[in-house]
Amino acid sequence: MIIVTGGAGFIGGNLTLALNARGYDDIWVVDNLQNGIKYRNLLECRIADYLDKHEFLRRLQQGDLPVTTIEAVFHQGACSTTTEWDGRYMMENNYEYSKILYHFCQRHKIPFIYASSAAVYGGGKRFAEELACESPLNVYGYSKFQFDQYVRRHQNEQTAQVVGLRYFNVYGPREAHKGAMASVAFHLHNQLLQTGAVKLFSGCDGYADGEQRRDFVYVGDVVDVNLWFLDHPGVSGIFNAGTGRSQTFNDVARAVLAYHQRGELQYIPFPEHLKGCYQSFTEADLSQLRAAGCDVEFKTVEQGVPLYLGWLGG
């Protein structure tokens, strides 16, 4: 059996489908369907059971889980809203919950592969898995940073595989429920269908209009990285999950316009509330991922965006 927390979410839903494609259907999906639209991400999935997050935690803490049958835990569940400033909620949801799962897996020697985030790096210019590079700009990034720190503190005591994956700007199928937190490609696609134009922020932090750079990574490639670690239970650590090459927001806009073969690009003022809390540049350093032996190839924006828009339709 495999447990996928956040299994009705964006990466979790795609991961569950990928496990199905490998022949796994003894999967327990754990999530919070308060946002009921997420059920759509499970429609194509074959799973053994669905558990609400709170029911799962109750069973876990009462010892009411079939631990001897659990092959691995993929912990994808988290609040990923970077504009959420309720620190108590964020730390309870992203940090305390993760600690409970971590110790459960360690007690029972179960591989634990969890979602970290490139948000831990903040406004830096070097994105390597080192403390000197890590300085989050918001409480979401801090919640991920602090759990990574917790894992590092306990790494010499580990009884089973522990892998943290620092996701960069992931885009692709099954993210519509994320609303404002969905990818740039998703929003630009919808803008074009609705208005005939796509809109990007004007320049900031010394970057020209639309020239801010991010490491945009296709969700299928991120799923492949998760599965690579499932196949290599002897490898532990915290690793970047990005393409290793930054591209501009203009590149994403051009890919959307090229796919639709129509529309225009417009720029809007940079929002005041994001100033000082915005990553204008990200680019994964893949040295540690490659040194671990992970050979997953990552799509460029020009390769991934058309795949995604073809899936979206319209």
CATH code of 55's domain = 3.40.50.720
- Residue 279 confidence class, pLDDT cut points 50, 70, 90: confident
Does 209 lie in the same domain as 109? no
Does 140 lie in the same domain as 48? yes
Does 250 lie in the same domain as 239? no
Does 63 lie in the same domain as 133? yes
- Residue 83 confidence class, pLDDT cut points 50, 70, 90: low
CATH code of 308's domain = 3.90.25.10
Does 76 lie in the same domain as 44? yes
Closest of 194, 202, 206, 285 to residue 249, by C-alpha: 202
pLDDT at 274 over 70: yes
The set of catalytic residues is 140, 178
Does 255 lie in the same domain as 188? yes
Report pTM.
Answer: 0.95
Domain of residue 34, residue span:
2-171+218-244+285-299
Number of folded domains that form the chain: 2
Share above pLDDT 70 across residues of the chain, in percent, rounded to a whole number: 98
| Separation in Å, CA 85 to CA 81, 124, 142, 190, 265 | 9, 21, 11, 27, 32
Q: What is the pLDDT of residues 176-225, one digit of tens each?
A: 999 988 999 999 999 999 999 999 999 888 899 999 999 999 999 999 99
**What is the C-alpha to C-alpha distance for residues 205 and 187, in angstroms, rounded to an integer?**
23
Does 255 lie in the same domain as 239? no
Does 157 lie in the same domain as 258? no
Does 232 lie in the same domain as 153? yes
pLDDT at 235 over 80: yes
User: Rg of the chain's alpha carbons, rounded to an integer?
Assistant: 19
Please, which contacts does 105-110 make with residues 24 or more away whose CB atoms are closer than 8 Å? 105/73, 105/160, 105/162, 106/154, 106/157, 106/158, 106/159, 106/160, 106/162, 107/159, 108/67, 108/70, 109/159, 109/160, 110/67, 110/70, 110/71, 110/72, 110/73, 110/160
**What is the C-alpha to C-alpha distance for residues 113 and 102, in angstroms, rounded to an integer?**
9
pLDDT at 314 over 70: no
Does 189 lie in the same domain as 96? no
Does 89 lie in the same domain as 60? yes
Query: What is the arithmetic mean of pLDDT over 127-155?
Result: 95
Does 130 lie in the same domain as 199? no
Closest of 215, 201, 302, 206 to residue 257, by C-alpha: 302
Query: What is the arithmetic mean of pLDDT over 12-32?
Result: 97
Q: What is the pLDDT of residues 90-113, one digit of tens each?
A: 898 899 999 999 999 999 999 999
**What is the C-alpha to C-alpha distance for residues 145 and 137, in angstroms, rounded to an integer?**
11
DSSP state letter for 41: G
Note the pLDDT of residue 82.
Answer: 66
